[in-house]
Amino acid sequence: MKIFNAEQIRGWDQFTISHEPISSVQLMERASIAVADWISDHCKVHRKAVLFCGNGNNGGDGLAVARMLYLKGFDVEVFIKDPKGRFSEDAAVNLKRLSGISGISVRNFNQVEQYSFDDKTIIIDALFGTGLSRPLVDEDKELVNWINTKENIKISIDAPSGLSGDGLLANDLIVLKANYTLSFQCWKRSFLHPETGKYTGKVIMLDIGLNEEYNKSTETDYFVIDDSFAETLFTPGMILPTKEIMVR
């Protein structure tokens, strides 16, 4: 399986949008359905979900997931920096869709300490995705530090907030420590480095149907070994060469 960098992944999204009958917000919906379905299937004991959503497309994923989990029977609370702030176009669409659901409360980040996190609550991180190229600062840094103190199960969408998809981190950077990371389509390099992979927890790769032609035609120097690649290296019944071992 190929590993693409953040720029290539954005290109894969755009290639899919331009070559298939799908809009960017519909592609976000597709990704969010995959996330919500996985959470619903694997978190049957935890029926309360608290989502922390940024203003970009990762936050848009979180806002859509909040709506879907509510419709699946979860008790849902959403925290965002400022409901009147500036959002990406697709995130704004999903914030508007969420505002039409009276059963979901949307709160500011500064209200988080007033919320009671019991042991049935999962925390869903949709603050920043793999495209993050700067360290967390100010309120974002404080929020992630605070979330890290919680013992609840933490699930990150796309990547743990604070973690770049492409490389290593300075020693003093703050990253959300997830129990699970639900990422899309292909592995990211930072998931595989021991210095940064420790933040992801168990990585679940969700296939959201990005255009396969882009995958085939786009070159990369990085790969992970998957079942299909392993099958090209080994033929059932093949006798592997052995070496004689001398015991002294």
Domain residue ranges in the chain? 6-233
pLDDT digits 0-9 by tens, 63-110: 999 999 999 999 999 999 988 889 999 999 999 999 889 999 999 999
Alpha helices in 43-149 (DSSP H): 57-71, 89-99, 138-148
State residue 197's pLDDT score.
85
Res. 146: pLDDT tops 70 = yes
pTM across the whole model: 0.90
Nearest to 62 by CA among 73, 75, 78, 48: 78
Please name the residues in contact with 213: beta carbons below 8 A apart, sequence gap of 6 or more. 15, 19
- CATH superfamily for 6-233 is YjeF N-terminal domain (3.40.50.10260)
Which parts of the chain are beta strand (E)? 48-53, 75-80, 105-108, 121-126, 154-157, 180-184, 202-206
pLDDT digits (tens, 9 = 90+) for 193-242: 888 889 999 999 999 999 999 999 999 998 887 666 666 666 666 555 55
> Mapping DSSP to helix (H, G, I), strand (E, B) and coil, where does residue 94 land?
helix
Residue in 7, 5, 24, 3 with CA at minimum distance from that of residue 208 = 24
